Structure 1
Amino acid sequence: MDWIERIAGIRRWTRGGERAPHKPLLLLYVLGRFQQDGNRPIPFSAAEAELRKLLKEYGPPRDTSPGYPFHHLTSDGLWLVDTEDGPGSPGPELGRLRASGASGRLHPDLARAMSEEPGLVARIARFLLDANFAPSLHADLCLLTGLDLETLETGGQTRTSATARRDRAFRERVLMAYEYRCAFCAYDGWLDGSAVGLDAAHVRWWAFDGPDDLGNGLCLCAIHHKLFDKGVLGLSHERTVTVSARFVGRSAAARELVLSLAGRPAQDPQAGLDAVEPRHIAWHGRQVFRTPARLP
């Protein structure tokens, strides 16, 4: 059985070309849970808040209930819902899902195939991401759903242990610590109640033993995160922003967004919360930042 074809054929609500990624978002969430816990039943009461957040941030602008994909995915032969009274979904209404103690799990045939076929989870996840979301959203989606594609695609040969997992709470901890503002430029955009264009950047990269700790995190806007990871921007031991002398930008935008940052103090986290540790700043300076630094 070709499970990718089965997943490509899931039935979706359509009207005038509107996006309807509700079932793909549920599947990505379930794949993350499968990677961590196998095919244990997922109570709706445990999934509701996380599905609501995913639908709000990555679904279409109109509001959608998390009960919609939890119930309707059962029609595609990939997902089973049971209640305290027996098999079968009680419907998409939130009250009935909660009151009935509804829980969901992958169809046993799909779960068995993913357990027996190395790489199938990653291939399904990549298909769902590519078919439904812009590439710039993939990393955050994996983090929020608990999917560690790097480990899945390399057979667990990343990090120091195959059991290492990304901390899904890292992003929220870092953004909260910096009060949802870029530590370099103070950008603080929101859309419909959610921060937009802000990332939790690892100073020492996670792939190179950088922990998911506040002392290794910076809240950065998307452009400064990219430039930080490319070595255009860095941090001094005094926590001022460094700009690589190798960077060339002649436009007013380049001067304002990048060159003007040289020597500017980076924002500190809220009082009482951990600032970036010197050892992680030193690693980034040795391994990522493109020396020399420009003079302020």
Structure 2
Amino acid sequence: MNWVERAAGLRQWSKGAARAPHKPLLLLYALGRFQREGDGELRYSAVEEDLKRLLAEYGPPHRTSPAYPFHHLVGDGVWEVRTDRGTGSPGTGVRELRAAGATGRLVPELRVALRRDPSLLGRMARVLLDANFPPSLHDELCEAVGLDVETGPDVPGRLSTARRQRDRRMRELVLTAYEYRCAFCGYDGRIGTVPVGLEAAHVRWWAFDGPDDVDNGLCLCALHHKLFDKGVLGIGADHRILVSRRFVGHGPAARAQVTELSGRALTGPRPGVAPVAATHRAWHTAQVFHGDPRPARAAPSPA
């Protein structure tokens, strides 16, 4: 049984390029619990709030139920559900799972395999992260589900099941196109001649067929890259910055670094370089950006 391939091939709801990371999030959560506590069952009523939080923070912008993956992950051969009446899920409804005392855990064969090969857990976790989330979120997602695994492209023994290879030139091409300045705030820090804190962000995530092309990239500082991938920030049709109404920040730093960006034109790319393509902007707005955008900040009145 190739458990890494099974993790990479989870059957997910699909409609065009829509994100549906419900099953990967539940499996990551279950792997984290297994790593910390062994093979104890996870009672739905006890983990429901944890799963809600993960879906709200790392799932698609629309509301969704944690009952969905708890029930449907059974069909992928890595998860089992039991109730007071025996084996099998009572359905996809929250009430049914609660009323039946539903519990879930990794299937026995996978638990045996994880004990026999301690490296398997990390390899499964990494392929789930690579297939469903951008690298900027990997470390914090591992922390959120309680997983202790190494992330990053240079982890020894990393097993990739990806059908595409990343273009390692993209970072330099994107940073050059934006003249080594954050497209949101203009940050351009360097140590000597080496830029620091600047990253090439995919607008349409690589895991969702986003190409390694300049018109799918933004040069962003580390803060704004994280906020862009978390759906706090976005790009409007007029290439102006969107800020989610759901973002709350009361201090002057939050206002200056986030809320006051609303409506500001992107910095770059330099003349002659294609801006972010409309199809990639539209994907990010529909699949990552959270809620409605704030109104653009009013221009100051003339003195």
Contact 2:10–2:24, Cα closer than 8 Å, also in 1: no
Contact 1:40–1:105, Cα closer than 8 Å, also in 2: yes
User: What are the equivalent positions in structure 2 for 1:85-100 lying under 5 Å apart?
Assistant: 85-100=85-100
Runs of 5+ unmatched residues, structure 2: 157-222, 224-231, 233-242, 258-266, 268-303
* Amino acid of the structure 1 residue aligned with 2:94: L
Deviations 1:94-136 (CA, angstroms, capped at 9, x unpaired): 0010111000010100111011102100000011111100111
User: What are the equivalent positions in structure 2 for 1:248-287 lying under 5 Å apart?
Assistant: none
How far apart, in 1, do the equivalents of 2:245 and 2:29 lie? 22
Deviations 1:38-76 (CA, angstroms, capped at 9, x unpaired): 111000011100100111111111111000000000011
Change (3 A) 1:194 1:116: farther
Aligned to 2:106: 106
RMSD, aligned CA: 2.7
How far apart, in 1, do the equivalents of 2:117 and 2:130 lie? 21
User: What are the equivalent positions in structure 2 for 1:23-172 lying under 5 Å apart?
Assistant: 23-150=23-150
Change (3 A) 1:88 1:137: same
How far apart, in 2, do the equivalents of 1:192 and 1:39 lie? 41
Q: Secondary structure at the match of 1:149?
A: coil
Contact 1:57–1:194, Cα closer than 8 Å, also in 2: no
Contact 1:129–1:138, Cα closer than 8 Å, also in 2: yes
Q: Secondary structure at the match of 1:80?
A: strand
How far apart, in 2, do the equivalents of 1:128 and 1:191 lie? 27
Runs of 5+ unmatched residues, structure 1: 155-181, 183-188, 197-219, 225-251, 253-296
How far apart, in 1, do the equivalents of 2:95 and 2:64 lie? 15
Distance apart, 1:11 and its partner CA: 1.0
Contact 2:84–2:102, Cα closer than 8 Å, also in 1: yes
* Amino acid of the structure 2 residue aligned with 1:97: L
Q: Secondary structure at the match of 2:89?
A: coil
**Percent identical:** 54
Deviations 1:161-210 (CA, angstroms, capped at 9, x unpaired): xxxxxxxxxxxxxxxxxxxxx9xxxxxx78575669xxxxxxxxxxxxxx
How far apart, in 2, do the equivalents of 1:195 and 1:146 lie? 26
Q: Give aligned pairs, total.
A: 167
Contact 1:83–1:100, Cα closer than 8 Å, also in 2: yes
How far apart, in 1, do the equivalents of 2:248 and 2:108 lie? 38
Higher relative contact order (CA 8 A, sep 6+): 2
* Amino acid of the structure 1 residue aligned with 2:99: A
How far apart, in 2, do the equivalents of 1:192 and 1:51 lie? 23
Distance apart, 1:84 and its partner CA: 1.1
* Amino acid of the structure 2 residue aligned with 1:110: L
TM-score, with normalisation over the residues of structure 1?
Answer: 0.52
Which aligned runs of 4 or more in structure 1 are off by greater than 6 angstroms?
A: none
How far apart, in 1, do the equivalents of 2:85 and 2:244 lie? 41
Change (3 A) 1:195 1:59: farther
Contact 1:43–1:103, Cα closer than 8 Å, also in 2: yes
* Amino acid of the structure 2 residue aligned with 1:114: L
